C-alpha cells in the first residue's frame, strides 16, 4: 500500500491541570489571567490574577495532594488522543492522521502544540474541544489562544473548528451506557434521582448570551431519552462555584441537601466533563459524598466520566471526519 500523501492534524483542547505541587500556583495564575475568566483590562487582570492565585494556592494544593500531587487530566487526554487517532484511521479518511493536545492553562500550551503541528506540515487541521457544550470561558478561549499561536508558528493549513456537540449520538450513548450500568445494579423499589452535575458559570456570563447552560440542558434531555426509563427522576445542577458572584442554579450542593430531605438516593453524573479530574475525583467523589452523608442521602453513586468509552470516541471520530475540508461557519466564536 502506497503511503498516504495527505496529512490531517487533530488538535484536542482541554483545560489542563498542574503536573506537580510547584505547578499549582502558576496554573491558577494562568486560569485567572485569562480575559474570558476575569473580564478586566490589563494591568488590572494581571494584578487580580496574582492576588487570587496567591490566595487559592494552598487550598488547591490540598485538593491535588489527594490526587497524588498532580492532575490526571493530561495522561487521560493522551489516552483519548490515542484512541481517537485509531478510530479516525478506522474510518479510512484518506489522510495520515496525528492527534495533538493543547491545554489552556498548563502544558502542553497552544504555543508549543502549534509548533509541533507546523512541523507535522498538515494539509488539514481540525480543532476539537473536549468540551461538548460551548462556552466563551472554555471553547472560545481555547480557540482564540490557538489562532494566535498558529499564526505565530506560521501554520497556514486549512482549519475547521468543531464548536460544540451537546447531543452528538456517540457522546449521548456513552453517557447512557454508563448510567445504565449504575441503575441496573440498584435494589428494586428504592427511591433514586439522577443528578446531572455540570461545572457552573457566573450568571452574568449566561445573561450576556453564553449558550452553555442551554446546551447542558440539551445534553441531559438527550441522555434521558436514550435511557428510555419511564418515570425516571432526574435534575440538572451546577458545581464548583467560587467567589461572591451569583452563579447559575440550581447548585449541586443544594440538590444534594434536597435529596437528603426527601430520603432519595443519588446517581451523580458529570454531564459536562469527559475525563476525570479534580472536580470529579475530589469534589464529586469526596466532598459531595461527605455532604450527602451529612444531609441524610441514603445512597450515593457517581457515574464515571466517559473517558475512552468506545461510543464516545467513535462519535468524536465521526465529527472529525465530517469536518475535513469544511469551511468554518461558527455561531459563537468571532
The structural domains of the chain, with segments of one domain joined by +, span 21-65, 169-302
CATH number of 169-302: 3.40.50.10860, 3.40.50.1400, 3.40.1350.10, 3.40.630.30?
A: 3.40.50.1400
Binding positions for Fe(2+): 199, 279
Alpha carbons within 13 angstroms on the beta-carbon side of residue 306 total 26
* Digitized pLDDT (tens) for each residue of the chain, 334 residues in all: 445 679 999 999 999 999 999 999 999 999 999 999 998 999 999 999 999 999 999 999 999 999 999 999 999 999 999 999 999 999 999 999 999 999 999 999 999 999 999 999 999 999 999 999 999 999 999 999 999 999 999 999 999 999 999 999 999 999 999 999 999 999 988 999 999 999 999 999 999 999 999 999 999 999 999 999 999 999 999 999 887 789 999 999 999 999 999 999 999 999 999 999 999 999 999 999 999 999 999 999 999 999 999 999 999 999 999 999 998 989 999 8
Q: What is the pTM of this model?
A: 0.96
Query: Distance of CA 245 to CAs 78, 183, 203, 204, Å?
Result: 35, 36, 8, 9
DSSP 8-state code for residue 21:
G
CA 179 to chain centre: 18
Residue stretches of the annotated binding site: 199, 279
3-state helix, strand, coil split of the chain in percent (to 5) is 45, 15, 40
Contact 27, 105 (CB under 8 A): yes
Amino acid at each position: 500500500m502506497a503511503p498516504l500523501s495527505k496529512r490531517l492534524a487533530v488538535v484536542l483542547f482541554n483545560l489542563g491541570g498542574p503536573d506537580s505541587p510547584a505547578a499549582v500556583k502558576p496554573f491558577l495564575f494562568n486560569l485567572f489571567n485569562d480575559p474570558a475568566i476575569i473580564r478586566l483590562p490589563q494591568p488590572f487582570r494581571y494584578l487580580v490574577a496574582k492576588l487570587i492565585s496567591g490566595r487559592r494556592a494552598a487550598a488547591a494544593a490540598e485538593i491535588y495532594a489527594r490526587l497524588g500531587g498532580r492532575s490526571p487530566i493530561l495522561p487521560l487526554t493522551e489516552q483519548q488522543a490515542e484512541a481517537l487517532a485509531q478510530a479516525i484511521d478506522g474510518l479510512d479518511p484518506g489522510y495520515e492522521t496525528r492527534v495533538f493536545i493543547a491545554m489552556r492553562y498548563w502544558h502542553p500550551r497552544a504555543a508549543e502544540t502549534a509548533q509541533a503541528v507546523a512541523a507535522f506540515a498538515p494539509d488539514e487541521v481540525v480543532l476539537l474541544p473536549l468540551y461538548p457544550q460551548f462556552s466563551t470561558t472554555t471553547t472560545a478561549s481555547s480557540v482564540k489562544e490557538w489562532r494566535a499561536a498558529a499564526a505565530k508558528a506560521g501554520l497556514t493549513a486549512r482549519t475547521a473548528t468543531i464548536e460544540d456537540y451537546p447531543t452528538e449520538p456517540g457522546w449521548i450513548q456513552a453517557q447512557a451506557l454508563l448510567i445504565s450500568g449504575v441503575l441496573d445494579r440498584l435494589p428494586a423499589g428504592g427511591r433514586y434521582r439522577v443528578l446531572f452535575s455540570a461545572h457552573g458559570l457566573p450568571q452574568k456570563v449566561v445573561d450576556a448570551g453564553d449558550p452553555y447552560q442551554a446546551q447542558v440542558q440539551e445534553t441531559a434531555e438527550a441522555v434521558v431519552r436514550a435511557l428510555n426509563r419511564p418515570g425516571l427522576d432526574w435534575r440538572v445542577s451546577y458545581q464548583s462555584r467560587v467567589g461572591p458572584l451569583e452563579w447559575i442554579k440550581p447548585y449541586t450542593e443544594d440538590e444534594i441537601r434536597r435529596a437528603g430531605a426527601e430520603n432519595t438516593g443519588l446517581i451523580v453524573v458529570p454531564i459536562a466533563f469527559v475525563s476525570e479530574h479534580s472536580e470529579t475525583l475530589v469534589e464529586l467523589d469526596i466532598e459531595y459524598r461527605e455532604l450527602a452523608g451529612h444531609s441524610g442521602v441514603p445512597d450515593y453513586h457517581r457515574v464515571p466520566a466517559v473517558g475512552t468509552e468506545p461510543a464516545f470516541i467513535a462519535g468524536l471520530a465521526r465529527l472529525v471526519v465530517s469536518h475535513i475540508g469544511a469551511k468554518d461557519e461558527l455561531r459563537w466564536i468571532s
